[in-house]
Amino acid sequence: MFADALWRRSRLTWGELLQAPRQGLGFEKIPRSRISVPIPQTITEDVQHFLVFRAGDETRLIGFRSADVLHIVWFDTKLDVYAH
């Protein structure tokens, strides 16, 4: 299921992802301040929000966008990376 969701998203443009519902293939944008685990030092302060993609009922893919690239930072399988 996770690999399928990732593959399906890889076929979409950012515009299509923006229009997709967050419960489907879309995403939710959360502020940096909601992250409850240490943020890697390589992620600079100019990254002010993260994108959260659902990858099944209990897994979230969390990262940030730079130009047209999604940088994956966390695979959240315990739903504890940010306050829900």
- Decide: helix, strand or coil at residue 72: strand
**How many whole angstroms separate alpha carbon 29 and alpha carbon 84?**
12
Structural domain contains residue 84: no
Q: The whole model's pTM is what? A: 0.89
Q: C-alpha dihedral over 50, 52, 53, 59, to 10 degrees?
A: 130
Task: Provide the pLDDT for residue 1.
Answer: 66
Structural domain contains residue 83: no
Whether pLDDT at 59 is above 80: yes
8 Å CB contact between 82 and 30: yes
Quick: pLDDT tens for 6-52.
Answer: 888 989 999 999 899 888 888 999 999 999 999 999 999 999 999 99
Structural domain contains residue 27: yes
* Strand residues in 18-67 grouped as ranges (E): 27-31, 49-54, 60-66
Decide which of 27 and 57 is more confident: 27
Q: State which residues form the domain around 49.
A: 2-76
Structural domain contains residue 81: no
Structural domain contains residue 82: no
Structural domain contains residue 63: yes
Total number of domains in the chain = 1
Average pLDDT for 75-81:
95
Quick: pLDDT tens for 62-71.
Answer: 999 999 999 9
Whether pLDDT at 78 is above 90: yes
Determine how many CB atoms are found less than 10 A away from the CB of residue 80.
12
